[in-house]
């Protein structure tokens, strides 16, 4: 054996000894969590407390920011945290935008040789302007994209624009399809208004082929006139597109009584259990308490709220004392303003505490799939090494990615994570009247609570 080969051999052996030592040390270090993780999963599945809390929350009804119901839900959540014996519970004041749908929401084909008085399945977009009692009547013009709208330019003046961009069923991750189309809902009506359109009808952001319209926020800008805008169910979107081919001169009447009111007083709900060893180190587990007004928002994001609340409850009930403080933050106003997230950001900046990590649950309460991690690569590798423990709750992967709309506002923490459940059915329910308690499977939701709890414990004690 040459000198070089001897050196190489000794380097390889030293490497193997060192890595096996580190690996062995990590193995035994994490061994103690195996039993705890299994127990967390079993307790969540057997007791289903989070699901039970979700049933209670859903009975309050929809929780749109600024509404009376949203305040009822906020006080209910505070009371729940107090009854569960969290160490501190408080409300953090937040001023929120307040939009009301009102009673009237009617869109019909008002002039046509073939389709006169045909009613269309629509729902006003959150933040939309309303109309007067007579409504707006105008000719309809269909576009498939912003590009088509731009090409038409002034030709849309005085007309109602129908943005009929299909939510793709061809992406493996429906969140990708949402990303491809959400811009047209958020800024579409403003773009139409720029060219002089009088109202906008947007194809609902779902691939689930029913006729239930899906609402969601639409934007505002000081310099652009806001026009009435609605989402239309898929079946009626296709009907309307065909009707326009047969009768390009058809006119539509839109009546909406929705309006934007002045900002309202609201709150983030915060509860925590103090860390046994590092009480000033904070792990945030967050979700948003507001929902759209068309259903109780069981998946979006009632279940997320109850999962992060159950995380603290599980640790407490099982007598597990995390080293760092675990703080549950139920943010208000994620759907149409992120004011809750910004208020918490200010609070975190001003506080003497150290935010170490944050997890958000806002992607539905289906079977657990993974965690997206927003961190540096060393931290990511460390978190990835916990996968065997997370697998006990059904988690398949941990990978780099965006965390969530609310926790992304927390600055200077080591890691921000987004809990991801199976996303295939999420947009069947999202922002629609379909998002009710019976859309949530108790076992799937509870496995998510368990996954979040195991991850939270590891972030608290091992990061
Ligand atoms: Zn949400």
Task: List pLDDT tens digits, range 333-391.
Answer: 999 999 999 999 999 999 999 999 999 999 999 999 999 999 999 999 999 999 999 99
> Which single residue is written with the structure tokens 């609570």?
449
Q: What is the pLDDT of residue 26?
A: 59
Residues 397-443: tens digit of each pLDDT: 999 999 999 999 999 899 999 999 999 999 999 999 999 999 999 99
pLDDT digits (tens, 9 = 90+) for 271-292: 999 999 999 999 999 999 999 9
* Cα of 330 from ligand 1 centre, angstroms: 12
Q: Which residue matches tokens 């006080």?
A: 75
Question: For residue 27, what pLDDT is reported?
Answer: 63
Q: How far apart are CA 60 and CA 89, in angstroms?
A: 21
CB-based burial label for 3 (10 Å; 0-12, 13-18, 19+): exposed
Contact 311, 285 (CB under 8 A): yes
> How far apart are the CA of 285 and the centre of ligand 1, in A?
15
**Token output for 170:** 């061809």
Q: Count Cβ neighbours within 10 Å for each residue of 98-122 and write b for 16 or more, e otherwise.
A: bbebeeebbbbbbbbeebeebebbb
Question: Distance (Å, rounded) from C-alpha 274 to C-alpha 254?
Answer: 54
Please say if the pLDDT value at position 14 is more than 80: no
This prediction's pTM = 0.93
- Whether residue 85 is predicted with pLDDT greater than 50 in this model: the reply is yes
Contacts of 8 (CB under 8 A, 6+ apart): none
Give residue 401 CA to ligand 1 midpoint distance, Å: 17
- 304 CA distance to ligand 1 centroid (A)? 8
Q: Specify the pLDDT at position 10.
A: 52
> 307 alpha carbon to ligand 1 midpoint, in Å?
13
Q: How far is the CA of 406 from the centre of ligand 1 (A)?
A: 10
pLDDT at 30: 84
Q: Distance from the CA of 340 to the center of ligand 1, in angstroms?
A: 13
pLDDT of residue 13: 44
**Whole-Å CA distances, 7 to 1, 17, 19, 357:** 10, 15, 18, 43
Gap from CA of 300 to ligand 1 centroid (Å) = 4
User: What is the pLDDT averaged over residues 191-202?
Assistant: 97
Centre of ligand 1 to C-alpha 115, Å, is 37
Q: How far is the CA of 273 from the centre of ligand 1 (A)?
A: 25
CB atoms within 10 A of CB 245: 8
Tell me how far the alpha carbon of residue 277 lies from the centroid of ligand 1, in angstroms. Answer: 33
pLDDT > 90 fraction of the chain, expressed in percent and rounded: 92
Q: How far is the CA of 291 from the centre of ligand 1 (A)?
A: 7
Q: For residues 427 and 435, give the distance between their C-alpha atoms in angstroms, rounded to a whole number.
A: 10
Q: How far is the CA of 276 from the centre of ligand 1 (A)?
A: 32
Contact 74, 266 (CB under 8 A): yes
pLDDT at 298: 98
- The CA 243 to ligand 1 mean position distance, Å, reads 34
Q: Does 310 have pLDDT greater than 60?
A: yes
- Cis peptide bond prior to 301, omega within 30° of 0: yes
Please tell me the distance between residue 20's alpha carbon and the centre of ligand 1 in angstroms: 43
Banded pLDDT at 79 (limits 50, 70, 90): very high
């Amino acid at each position: 054996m040459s000198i070089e080969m001897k050196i190489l051999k000794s380097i390889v052996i030293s490497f193997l000894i060192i890595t096996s030592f580190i690996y062995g040390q990590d193995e035994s270090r994490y061994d103690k969590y195996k039993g705890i993780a299994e127990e967390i999963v079993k307790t969540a599945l057997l007791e289903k407390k989070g699901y039970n809390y979700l049933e209670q929350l859903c009975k309050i009804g929809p929780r749109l920011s600024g509404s009376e119901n949203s305040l009822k839900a906020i006080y209910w959540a505070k009371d729940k945290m107090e009854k569960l014996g969290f160490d501190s519970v408080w409300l953090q004041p937040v001023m929120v935008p307040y939009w009301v749908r009102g009673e009237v929401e009617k869109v019909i084909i008002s002039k046509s040789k073939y389709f006169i008085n045909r009613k269309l399945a629509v729902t006003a977009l959150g933040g939309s302007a309303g109309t007067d009692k007579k409504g707006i009547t105008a000719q309809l013009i269909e576009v498939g994209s912003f590009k088509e709208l731009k090409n038409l330019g002034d030709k849309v003046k005085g007309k109602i624009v129908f943005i009929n961009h299909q939510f793709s069923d061809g992406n493996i991750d429906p969140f990708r399809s949402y990303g491809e189309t959400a811009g047209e809902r958020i800024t579409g009506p403003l773009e139409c208004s720029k060219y002089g359109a009088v109202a906008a009808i947007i194809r609902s952001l779902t691939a689930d082929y029913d006729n239930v319209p899906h609402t969601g926020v639409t934007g505002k800008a000081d310099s652009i006139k806001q026009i009435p805008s609605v989402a239309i169910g898929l079946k009626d979107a296709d009907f309307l597109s065909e009707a326009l081919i047969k009768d390009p001169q058809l006119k539509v009447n839109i009546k909406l009584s929705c309006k934007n009111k002045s900002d309202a007083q609201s709150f983030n709900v915060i509860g925590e259990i103090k860390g046994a060893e590092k009480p000033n180190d904070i792990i945030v587990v967050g979700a948003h308490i507001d929902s759209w007004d068309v259903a109780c928002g069981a998946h979006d994001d009632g279940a997320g709220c109850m999962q992060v609340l159950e995380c603290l409850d599980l640790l407490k009930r099982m007598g597990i004392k995390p080293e760092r403080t675990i703080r549950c933050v139920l943010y208000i106003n994620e759907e149409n303003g992120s004011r809750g997230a910004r208020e918490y950001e200010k609070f975190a900046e001003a506080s003497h505490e150290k935010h170490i990590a944050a997890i958000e649950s806002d992607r539905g309460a289906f079977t657990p799939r993974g965690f997206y991690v927003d961190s540096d690569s060393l931290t990511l590798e460390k978190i990835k090494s916990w996968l065997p423990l997370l697998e006990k709750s059904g988690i398949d992967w941990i990978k780099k990615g965006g965390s969530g709309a609310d926790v992304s506002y927390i600055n200077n923490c080591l890691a921000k994570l987004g809990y991801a459940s199976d996303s295939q059915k999420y947009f069947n329910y999202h922002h629609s009247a379909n998002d009710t308690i019976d859309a949530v499977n108790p076992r799937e939701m509870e496995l998510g609570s368990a996954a979040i709890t195991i991850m939270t414990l590891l972030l608290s004690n091992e990061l």
